[in-house]
Amino acid sequence: MIVYLDGKYVDSNEAKVSVFDHGLLYGDGVFEGIRLYEGNVFRLAEHIERLEYSAKAILLELPWTTQELIDITCETCRRNNLRDGYIRLVITRGVGDLGLAPWLCPKPTLFVIASTIQLYPKEHYEKGLAIVTVPTRRINPAALPPTVKSLNYLNNILGKIEAKQAGALEGIMLNDQGYIAECTADNLFIVHKGAVITPSASQGALKGITRDTMFDAAKDLGIPMREQNLTRYDVWCADECFITGSAAEVIPVVKLDGRVIGDGKPGPITAKLLANFRQRVTREGVKL
């Protein structure tokens, strides 16, 4: 595998970051997870824009232009002869000393990995996923804005561990007020009386690219969609439920905390949104 690292395309065995890099020492950096479908990097411009906004929010000045980041991402895919896969683009604060001071890091580190990924077995896309509510709460948006896709993922990792301990592959994370924020790595939606509802970013949800695509798909299909505060009760009593993410795509959820959602099968509105999403993935983005 070929990896882009600080201006060079190198073999993955040679792609090494310094132990003094603040991305490693402090989780000081930002990243994007991007999908490649049939040679089309899905919504790449939107991903790069979110990356740039995340960097700006943490006062990380980027020396690359938007087009340079797009070109680097596409070239990494080409060098790996990749037509379908998953891309991880990471920018750290860079190499510094053992102190926190980011101004002692003279330049950021950039690396891009283009490979394959499969988060969930195929049967879950067809039959639905059973998830749980995890004990770890989502960080308050006033402490760390969820719109910043940073390398600080310990909060989500703890939630993922707790979901696995409960025998589930994914878990819902509540915020400090008890409202649903998101899942450990995915956004959550419910369908209630024909309308699609999802938590807002102000409740701790990441503004996911696939999440945004669901809003576009719903508009195309004439399906009402809105942001709203949600509790577990709302999920238990929903007609349908599904989760979205760049890596996970769109997966129906049929159980929460052992309680059956709807009739326990993937619902018709979820299926329509998924079909619309699959039509978009090869035409909305940047061709290699």
Q: Which residues are catalytic?
A: 149
User: How far apart are alpha carbons 103 and 94 in whole angstroms?
Assistant: 10
Q: Which of 192, 224, 198 is nearest to 211 (CA)?
A: 198
Q: What are phi and psi of 192, to 5 degrees?
A: -135, 120
User: How far apart are alpha carbons 183 and 132 in whole angstroms?
Assistant: 9
Name the helix (H) or strand (E) containing 55: helix 44-57
- Buried-state track 86-101, b at ≥16 Cβ within 10 A, e below 16: bbbbbbbbbbbeeeee
Structure tokens at 267: 């619902």
Q: In 80-118, which residue ranges form alpha helices assigned H by DSSP? A: none
Q: Which of 159, 155, 182 is nearest to 169 (CA)?
A: 159
- CB of 73 closer than 8 Å to CB of 44: yes
Structure tokens at 6: 């600080």
Beta strands of 38-122 (E only): which ranges?
A: 40-42, 85-92, 109-115
Provide the residue type at 248 as one letter.
A
